């Protein structure tokens, strides 16, 4: 394609491909297809749009001779007015690799955080905006100086245009290096997209706390009356990367000789249990109805969290998460 009337074709294609590929990722496509459509968005399109903004003119290589009498140099100096297609391609990849982390960093400061939706939306918005700026930049160039995209595969490689002072350079090794670099780039980009880093899953388990004042002795309800029912609120936050079913068991224990999991339990009674399904990334509060029957100040309320159904004898040793709350029952 050499017709100067089509000088904007590549930028229009960038906008169209960005929209189509973004829609493809958001539509829920998974597997190899997802990787294939995400690679251009990450490693090429944003950088190509930026390069087009910075270099809207076509290559125009000219050789200008040095003033031998002044400089003592006889080798002509290469003067260029734009980028070769190969240079434009390489810079597009480099700029894309630089822009995507910057977009990810910006997404971390937004309310949505670093998610596929926020990062991909940022990449798409930046790519389209830069493409529109590039169209304006090319339009402002003289028609004969505007960069017009070509469809020849040869444009991605070094070629010899004619005899010059650099005619002794062998271009084949550079072309081989370009092919190898492209293969490695696509392979590494695909692997990174297909295997995004994820932290290990975990579940947060806590109890509702009271407003802290100067008179607060404990941040939870620690005084109970035997035979009277009280509500105890437990909070579960699921960060396991998938929906989970939990069961919380409230146990009243009389302890001695130690603290926490090392304490010796001399008496135990189960007060209540409740189940809940918590979606990934969500928080749910459970209300437990506890009616203590034992009395004394050597008691503790133990909350045991299980994934799924608990065993026949719930204990601190077989629970997924455990909370010990020293209490006093009158």
Q: Where are the domains of the chain?
A: 4-194, 202-329
Helix (H) or strand (E) holding 330: none
pLDDT of residue 196: 56
CATH node for 202-329: 2.60.40.10
pLDDT of residue 239: 87
Contact at 8 Å (CB) between 325 and 233?
A: no
- Residue 124 burial by Cβ neighbours in a 10 Å radius (0-12, 13-18, 19+): buried
pLDDT of residue 278: 93
> What gap in Å lies between CA 160 and CA 110, rounded to an integer?
50
103: left (phi over 0), alpha (psi -120 to 50) or beta: alpha
> What gap in Å lies between CA 61 and CA 77, rounded to an integer?
10
pLDDT of residue 299: 92
Model confidence pTM above 0.85: no
Backbone angles phi, psi at 305, to 5 degrees: -105, 130
Q: CA 62, 67, 70: angle at the middle one, nearest 5?
A: 150
pLDDT of residue 280: 87
> What gap in Å lies between CA 330 and CA 325, rounded to an integer?
16
Backbone angles phi, psi at 166, to 5 degrees: -105, 20
> What gap in Å lies between CA 42 and CA 192, rounded to an integer?
10
> What gap in Å lies between CA 137 and CA 133, rounded to an integer?
6
Residue 273 tokens read as: 């249990």
> What gap in Å lies between CA 248 and CA 275, rounded to an integer?
6
Q: Digits of tens for pLDDT over the chain (330 positions)?
A: 445 577 888 899 999 999 988 888 888 777 777 777 888 888 889 989 998 998 888 776 554 555 555 555 555 555 555 677 777 888 888 888 888 888 888 888 887 777 777 888 899 999 999 999 999 998 888 888 888 776 554 444 444 444 444 444 455 555 555 566 566 555 655 555 555 555 567 899 988 765 544 444 456 788 899 999 998 889 999 988 889 999 999 999 998 877 767 788 889 999 999 999 999 889 999 999 999 989 998 899 999 999 989 998 898 889 999 999 888 998
Q: Please state, as a whole number, how many other Cβ atoms lie within 10 Å of the Cβ of residue 245.
A: 13
């Amino acid at each position: 394609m050499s017709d100067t009337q089509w000088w904007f074709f590549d930028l229009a294609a960038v906008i169209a491909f960005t929209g189509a590929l973004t829609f493809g990722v958001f539509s829920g496509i998974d597997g190899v297809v997802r990787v294939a459509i995400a690679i251009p968005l990450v490693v090429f399109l944003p950088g190509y749009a930026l390069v087009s903004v910075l270099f809207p003119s076509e290559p125009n290589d000219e050789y200008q001779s040095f003033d031998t009498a002044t400089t003592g140099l006889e080798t002509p100096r290469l003067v260029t007015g734009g980028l070769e297609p190969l240079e434009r391609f390489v810079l597009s990849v480099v700029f894309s690799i630089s822009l995507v982390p910057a977009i990810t960093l910006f997404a971390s400061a937004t309310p949505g955080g670093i998610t596929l939706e926020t990062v991909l939306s940022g990449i798409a918005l930046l790519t389209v905006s830069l493409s529109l700026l590039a169209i304006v930049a090319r339009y402002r160039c003289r028609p004969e100086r505007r960069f017009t995209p070509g469809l020849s595969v040869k444009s991605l490689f070094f070629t010899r245009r004619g005899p010059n002072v650099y005619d002794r350079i062998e271009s084949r090794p550079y072309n081989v290096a370009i092919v190898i670099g492209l293969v490695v780039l696509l392979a590494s980009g695909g692997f990174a997209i297909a295997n995004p880093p994820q932290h290990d899953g975990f579940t947060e388990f806590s109890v509702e706390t009271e407003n802290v004042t100067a008179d607060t002795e404990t941040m939870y309800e620690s005084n109970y009356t035997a035979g009277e029912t009280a509500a105890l609120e437990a909070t579960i936050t699921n960060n396991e990367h998938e929906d989970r079913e939990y069961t919380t068991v409230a146990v009243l224990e009389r302890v001695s000789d130690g603290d926490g999991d090392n304490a010796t339990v001399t008496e135990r009674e189960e007060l209540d249990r409740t189940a809940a399904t918590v979606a990934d990334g969500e928080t749910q509060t459970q209300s437990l109805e506890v009616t203590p029957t034992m009395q004394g100040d050597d008691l503790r309320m133990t909350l045991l969290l299980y994934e799924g159904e608990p065993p026949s004898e719930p204990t601190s040793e077989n629970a997924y998460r455990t909370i010990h709350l020293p209490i006093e029952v009158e």
